[in-house]
Each structure stands twice: as C-alpha cells, then as structure tokens.
A and B are shown apart, each in its own frame.
Chain A
Amino acid sequence: MAPNTSALLEEPPNEGPPASLPAFQAPELDLSELTPVELLHESEDSRVVQARWKEKDCVLKIVSCKFFSILPFLTRHSATTLNEVPESESIMRLIHTCVKARLTVG
C-alpha cells in the first residue's frame, strides 16, 4: 500500500506558542496619574524615573524621539521589517514587547 504522501508534506501540528506574538493592545496611561519619586538614570535620549502609580512602585522610561535613530539596528534581520510601517508604529511594536524600560537600579 502506497504511503500517504500528502500527510508527509503537511506542516506538523502546531505545538507551543505561535511563531509570532499576537496583537496586544498595551494599556495607555496618563502621566498625570503617576507621581514621580526620583530620577534613576539618564542618558542622551531617555530618562528613567521611579514613580508611584495606583499605590504601586513603578519605573517610567521616557524615550526621546531621537531614540528612533537606532531603528536601522532593528532591521538587521530583515531589510524591510520596519521600513514598511510608520516609525511610531515600529516603536509601539517594540514597546508592546513590554520591554522598553531600562531598569538600572541595583
């Protein structure tokens, strides 16, 4: 009996998380809801500030639009990756990885 070749050509069942992140709508906050505590770190294009938000300690990383200049670095894996979307959207995609804050305490 001939093997079922079509079954061999099919993609294996999807296991674990998907190959890319799902759309995620990051909560939008209002700066007036936060109370600054102290400046933790500063660089040419950012400020990292400890703050209070809803009775929680938090860290706020404020990023200058000059930060956009690092975008070419981000395209090293694909020449067209981020060039095809508006800059602000590219930044927001990065932000959505929930990682933009540089926590330099300790």
Chain B
Amino acid sequence: MKAYGLCEKGHIPGFYGVIENIDLKTMGWETYLEVFEGEPELPNAVVIEFIPDLRPFDLSHYTAERADQLQATMSEIHGLGVEHGDVHQRNAKVHEETNRAIWIDFDRAIICPLDLTTEGQKKDWRRAMANEEERLLDALVNLVSLSHFWFNVRGLPLL
C-alpha cells in the first residue's frame, strides 16, 4: 500500500519503517521493553504516522463525504489484494482538522496468499475477500448514516 501511494493520500496512517529484533537494552526505551524480557525471540516493531485528535466515525462525525471516502479507501485497499481484516467502527476514524476519513489498525490484515499463482486465482481471492469486507462496510455506513438521519434530521432519539 505504501508502494502504491495509499499512505500519501492520507486515508491510512503513513508508514515509516520497521524495526526488527529490538535490543531490549536500547537507551531510553528500557521501561517500554522490559515486558518482553524472557521471551524466546526479540520483539519487532513498525513505525507509523502519529495522527492526533482522531475522532470516531459515529453519528456526531458522520458526513456522506466521509462515508464515501471510507468506502473508496477500502476499495483501493482491496484493489491491491489486501484485506483489512477488522472492518469495524472502532477502526474508522475522522480527523476533523483536515477533514480526513481514515482507516486504522491493520493488525489483522492479510495479503493475497502466496500460493495463488495465476492471475485468475488471485482475482477470485480478491473478489471474495472484497465482497466479504465491503458487505461489512456497507452495514457499518448504513448504520451510522441511519443513526445520523434519525438523530439529526428527524430529531428522534436512538432506540
């Protein structure tokens, strides 16, 4: 995704790099790393953009534009053969200052399986994966949109 410029578009956190086999005695980091002592292997890490003041994509931060952006970004992610793996409201965020809708937390993400060798197999996998996640995303957007309608347009409390 980094290679395809998704990070630069600002709708997923920017990716800076990885750190492998972290030395638990790295100066200044000892207190953060002591929990990993005694494990058979040294921990790894990724370094990504820090985005302050992220808000949840909920009815108070809903706009149709943001919903569209979340869906468009997820389509782009799927188009690259990546499944987010945790399409959930808690991972859809809004950065009001820049009016960005952002997907976070790709801990469960998976990429197109290595044993799919033909383009046809890869496309089938991608289609199945995208269908599954986009169904979840549609449900999420519809729920927030509907909540927004009832609460803000009709002035009715949520059930």
Contacts and interface: CB of A to CB of B under 8 A. Distances in A.
Contact of B16 (A21, A53, A81): A53
Contacts of B65: none
A55 to B, nearest CB: 12
B80 to A, nearest CB: 5
Interface stretch (B102-110, B133-141, B145-153): B102-110
Q: Pick the 8 closest A-B CB pairs, nearest first.
A: A99-B106, A98-B15, A19-B122, A106-B54, A27-B17, A81-B113, A65-B41, A57-B50
B18 A29 contact: yes
B47 A53 contact: yes
Interface residues of B, number: 69
A77 B110 contact: yes
Contacts, number: 205
Contact of B82 (A21, A59, A91, A102): A21
A60 B125 contact: no
Interface residues of A, number: 64
Interface string A75-106: 00110111011000001111111111111111
A18 B78 CA distance: 11
Interface of A: 11, 14, 16-22, 24, 26-32, 34-36, 39, 42, 47, 49-51, 53, 56-66, 70, 73-74, 77-78, 80-82, 84-85, 91-106
Interface in B30-82: 32-33, 35-36, 39-56, 79-82
